[in-house]
Amino acid sequence: MKICMILEGSYPFVRGGVSKWVDDMIRAQPEHEFIIWAVGDKEEKRGKYVVDLPQNVTSVHEAFLDTALKQHIRRNSNVKLKPAQKEAVSQLIRCENPDLNILLNTFESNVINPVELFMSEAFLEIVKEFCRDKFPFAGFTDLFWTVRSMFLPLLYLVGQPLPEADLYHSCSTGYAGVLGTFASMKYNKPYIVTEHGIYTREREEEILRSDWVVSYFKELWISMFFMFSRFAYQEAHQITCLFQRAAIIQEDLGCPPEKISVIGNGIKVENFKDVSRKEDDDWIDIAAIVRIAPIKDIKTMIYSFSQLKQEMSNARLHILGAVDDEEYHKECLSLIDYLNVKDIIFPGFVDIKKYLEKIDFTLLTSLSEGQPYAIIESMAAGLPLVATDVGSCRELIKGDNNDRFGSAGIYVTPMHQSEMLEALLEMSENKKMRARMSAVGRQRVNTFYNIQGMIINYQETYQKAIETWQASGSN
């Protein structure tokens, strides 16, 4: 079977997280051929992969959002829209319920060039109507450029060649979800969505905190991403998430419950069974396996650790992970200097498994997560953890109703420095508790989060998607 994996902002340009999941999925199914359809932010990343592609990846299709903004307009172009096309475009920019078949037929293979559409009189009339109806208080120019920046990348992506496959599997809603929707429609093939985090909620949080979106357009931006999820939920034949709370959110967002399956992440547990325990010394070593990015809230980590150092001078913090946001990284370094906190170490690229042998426990301060590999691998290595109560972190630490193993760590409220400090102190001071949590973590991962079980569950989901597709009369 030829499977097209549709990715946004991850594999093969980024390590860890979703990228690790994709790589594990492909390598564990050598009987299938995989096509990678990767959406990135910047054209400069084209061909610059940070992973070695598995042998059963037969092609990679790349598309970049910033390329859409650099397209040229042909001289004397004069875009005309039929009434049905005008209605579909109008519904799209209003984030309502556009006719997807009309949009696909209008923009696939650049039948209509979206750059030329956005500079046409036809589109000008659509935006004027939108402005009169929804934004009479806003400047027309501001609205026009906002709508252009929102929808030009999307329509550009739809205009790129859609790779043909036997089954489509997008690893988020968002742009990847829209592409999966249109590819499934065009080729009449089964489609699966896996949400590692709830994309729409993450974008909502990001936009509400942002200063790059004018306040009165934030609702429109948020509505666009909710519309994207509706497209994916509507077209997909099966939809998976990583934990039960995520399934509840998906249903609240309009996903039909009969499509939803919960499939947790899995790792090669045997790779961590030989990680040796740290030898006793005078230091308490804490590791954060994390990308340097605002969503990971490294600043709260630094603040909390600086308070811990006032209580325990023998604590060290090792922040292991790539720099995802250079500006944020500089802000974090400036904060460390401002607080004059010692013993925060950035070792750069290291062998994580080997590095964990000198660690007492791990730390995660994220504002949003799905089911982080950092926690699963920490538990597999026999390390307890302190983590924020986001995504499935609580479930990983405490287990669900069918799991009687006990606690593998401590979870706290996001951005709550005093809670975080209390948890860090408790974990640092109690060696017996750490040993008990170590055993629990290993038991839980061995039982519920091994890669063999994950692959079996996804193979069953592929089969369900195919059967649902066949039952709908689409084959």
Determine the pLDDT at residue 474: 63
Q: What tens digit of pLDDT does each residue of 133-150 get?
A: 999 998 899 999 999 999
Q: What tens digit of pLDDT does each residue of 89-123 get?
A: 999 999 999 999 999 999 987 778 888 898 889 99
How many angstroms separate the CA atoms of 461 and 92, rounded?
31
pLDDT of 63 above 70: yes
The pLDDT mean for the chain works out to 92
Q: What is the pTM of this model?
A: 0.88
User: C-alpha distances in angstroms, 177 versus 173, 180, 183, 299?
Assistant: 4, 5, 10, 32
φ/ψ of residue 385, rounded to 5? -150, 160
DSSP bridge pairs for 45: none
Average pLDDT (264-292) is 90
pLDDT of 180 above 90: yes
Contact call for residues 308 and 425 (beta carbons, < 8 A): yes
Contact call for residues 248 and 201 (beta carbons, < 8 A): no
The distance of Cα 118 from the centroid of its chain, to the nearest Å, equals 30
Q: In what order do the strands lie in the sheet with 57-64?
A: 57-64, 33-40, 2-8, 167-170, 191-195, 238-241, 260-262
- All structural domains of the chain, each given as residue ranges with its CATH number in brackets, are 2-69+162-266+454-471 (3.40.50.2000), 83-148 (no CATH), 269-449 (3.40.50.2000)
pLDDT of 262 above 90: yes
**91 membership: H or E segment, kind and range:** helix 83-93
Measured in Å, how far apart are the chain's first and last C-alpha atoms? Answer: 15
Determine the pLDDT at residue 77: 67
